[in-house]
A and B are shown apart, each in its own frame.
Chain A
């Protein structure tokens, strides 16, 4: 996979590190300065294996990593009108930065809570490599749904996302976005205050 294949994709929404038992998930987050691709297989509802690729635009140039990843649902609260989750994940793989090849290791944690009308999420991940400086990535999201979508209806959400990644070209980014999903297909689109497009996709089957 080359860096050019990432063109048009970048960004982050809250991931689904694990899904229902037996589910395969395909997720992409796309912004000009950050791309992230996940393919996950949940062998239980609380554990998954994933293949992940990332592209990051550092001030010195493009930084690309590929790695297998283990995802875990550490805790879930299933309430009558809400759900909350704590996920953790980590992986190690190959890194490429400024014509240098090496290795990278990454860990992350994600916490979310949602009802049918509100959503809040925070995450933090850190990646180390012998070819590039440490990559830290924090993210926070708030969302509101204008209506309570039923199971078979199209659901809509308005969200605002704050990202912090001091080693990238843009160290923090605020992006208002719109999320829509129907059945197993989810799309998000937004434009940051600085004018960067964001397009994200998620599919489970």
Chain B
């Protein structure tokens, strides 16, 4: 639909866009990314024909843009510029109606039903119909932006060029506007090129992205090909990290600030754990990066408080999550800053030990109840009973994402080995249990000190986890069994 071939241009002698070529197919949305001064807006002006290119050509439907009379081009291509101040008052309706200019001709041409319909539809799409006779100057920047998008939509052009359409908008309106534009793109097969400042928004909405720097294309392709840590870091000269969008198969990036208020010397020590008949708790001065299968705040996150709460063996609450959150808040902690699990085991029998290695140390904390052993290899229907092994591993070091997962695997293997060593039996199958039905595991790291890229069983940290979890679990089972005998 739109072909850009070897396009160069700029202001005066200054060449800002340098031999850029790409194409956008009908119905696709292409996002242009790049730092300030990378030539995004100039490229847009060259495409829209406001700036005369010094070389190269832009084709719409195979025809060079320069060959179109102004009005005919405006029927093919609508442009949303960045917002400007203006000296005269206009109503919303007057402004949107101007979008119909290219469809009107002749000296006395009047407003047709088609014009009216297009204006009404555009105002409806942008949710500004009720502002129809409001003056533009009385509206906020975000509302004005929506008026100009409506103006561009009223043009009914097949190609839409947008220069930072979400400028001035709050996140709700950003989403609404891009949803609307995307929907139009799909329904009416519009071809869209849009400049974005927000890499994440661009990644979410665009089919293709184009990363520019110093007037040239650094990378072009689907979002996963363009939103990559290395390229973004080198183009924007800033540290970023990328991660998947929680719902869409699109990459997102997160800024890594240059300044952090983190005093060094954070260390998790076994002696700082609070072990009482009611709970096992650890409070860290600074948040620890945590991955867990807890009741409250499972998954990954950063937390200061860690709680393993004892509940009665007959604990049966419909909404255990809510009850747990209330419990945390009642203890004077913030639920948003706390990872909490529960166990029916007597928490004063928790084993908390510190293991030192070359890189630093880890702390392992285990509570074990094995009355409910399960051999995971023998899938048998069974009713759920309380009986849990909760394993915590706190690492004084920097764990990579892989290391977090490997730490979990290593800990699980060590736990299973401990059950085997203690000959814990699955009462239903009579075989050796591999765990219990409701085990939880938590790996937390200070993310200070030495970097530990891996935590498999033959790494330094993996060895400590393996030994630590095995020893602590064995001991916890002993204490559990002794307590049962009494």
| Physical interaction between A and B | no
Interface residues of A (CB under 8 A from B): none
